[in-house]
Structures are given as structure tokens and as C-alpha cells.
Amino acid sequence: MKKNLLLFFIFVLSIQLSAQSEDFKSIITVSTFSPFRDQRYNVGYMHKLSERWWVGAELGYGSEGITPFNHNDFKGKFNMFEIRPEVFYSLNPDSRLKHLISAEVFYLNHKGNNVSGNYYDENDNYYSFSSADYKRTKAGVNINYSIMLHKESSWFGFMPKIGFGIRQSDISYSNVINREEKYEPTDGLPFQFLLNKEGSKLGFNFNIDIKLIFKF
């Protein structure tokens, strides 16, 4: 039954995509960066309200083993969820290339249960542990610039995106077992420190992505 429903959904979607015209009003987006950089898959939807205004939202989900790389500084099962509502304004609606300015808010919730690894406490002391519960939340706002690279007659294209904003992040470790102070590492990814440092921080947020777009 589930297989038949999936085949029916694919059939209906293919009809919609093949029948799309130059006056497309809906776009599905798929992030190409998030599976490699953010340990999650992000899929979004955009809807055209008028010649200049679009609204949309993006959902992200990640868990242990479903993305190509693991950037956590711990081992164990985790899951994360993200939501990004967004409002777009088209700078030149009559142009084939759509230049968009947008404002988005975002919220991310990242949890790991019974994980093992290393972390920094709020005093920058570095510890290893055999078991702990991990929680990270992040919320903020971005101002973005995007450009749609596509042919009007095609249902497919690309949308590079770049933006800046502010974010509030909170990271905590609870139920820590066998905590032991260690020498901090001298190598690693430049953003890894942000994912395993305990505490709350308000800071600058940088957003960059290239999205696949499917028009209908």
C-alpha cells in the first residue's frame, strides 16, 4: 500500500513538473551543502504571492549515520531538527534571472543521548567522558541574497544563496559519567569548537548554500 502511494505521488509530481509554464508559482528546494557541512538534509518550499513577493519555509533533519560526515565531537546516537520560515522580495521580477532579497528566522534543536567523547566547559577546560546527554539549540535571523539560475522553459535550476545575521546558541551536557580533564586538541575543523563548548552565546551568523530548485 505504501509503495503504491509513493508511486502515485511520484506520478502526480512528474505531471506537475512537465506541465509547468513560464509563470511558475511554486518551487521545491534541496540544500546541497547541509548533508556535508551540517549533518542534516534540508528541503524547502517557496510560493509566489505576486510579481515581487514570495514566502517559504525549510525543514531540516539529521541523525546518526544518514549523512556522509560526522562533525560531532562525540560518538553515539543523535538527532536534530531545524525550521526556517522566510519572506522573499524580487529585485527585478521581469528579468530571466531572479535576484531575491529575503529575511528568515531559524530554530535548531540538536540532541544526543548516552554519547561519549570530549567537550569544553564554560571556563574553557577540556574534558573527556564515557557517557553524557547532549543538547544544542540555536535560534536567530538572517538577511539573505539569492539568485535563481534557470531557464524559463525548464523545471530545474540552481539557487546560490548567501546571508548574514545574528544567532543565540545554547549547549549543555548533563548526566556526565567518568569525566576526566584532558589536554585540548591542536587540530580539527575550524567550526568544531562551536559544537562542543558548553554555555550560551550570542554571535554573528554566516549563511551560504547552493540549492537545487524544482519549479512547478
Handedness of CA 163, 203, 85, 214 (dihedral sign): positive
Asked if residue 132 is part of any domain, the answer here is: yes
Task: Give the domain range for residue 172.
Answer: 24-215
pTM: 0.84
Q: Is residue 17 part of a domain?
A: no
Q: What is the pLDDT of residues 38-54, one digit of tens each?
A: 999 999 999 999 999 99
pLDDT band at 11; cut points 50, 70, 90: low
Q: What is the CATH number of the domain that holds 179?
A: 2.40.160.20
Distance CA 29, CA 210 (A): 10
1 assigned to some structural domain: no
In the predicted structure, residue 21 carries a pLDDT above the cut 60: no
* Structure confidence at residue 170 (pLDDT): 97
Q: How many domains does the chain have?
A: 1
**What's the pLDDT tens digit per position in 170-186?**
999 999 999 999 888 77
Distance (Å, rounded) from C-alpha 41 to C-alpha 46?
A: 17
Question: Beta strand 199-215 with 156-177: parallel, antiparallel or unpaired?
Answer: antiparallel
Q: Alpha-carbon distance 142 to 121, whole Å?
A: 28
Inside any domain, residue 19: no
Looking at the domain assignment, is residue 92 inside a domain?
A: yes
Q: Is the pLDDT of residue 9 over 70?
A: no
Residue 189: the pLDDT is 57
Cα angle: 35, vertex 41, 43; to 5 degrees: 135
What pLDDT score was predicted for residue 68? 84
The string of DSSP codes covering 115-164 is EEEEEE-TT--EEEEEEEEEEEEEEEEEEEEEEEEE-TT-SEEEEEEEEE
- Using the predicted structure, report yes or no on whether residue 135 has a pLDDT greater than 90: yes
Residue 193 lies in a domain: yes
2 belongs to a structural domain:
no
User: 15 lies in a domain?
Assistant: no
Please tell me which residue, 14 or 114, carries the higher pLDDT value: 114
- Say yes or no to pLDDT of 196 above 60: yes
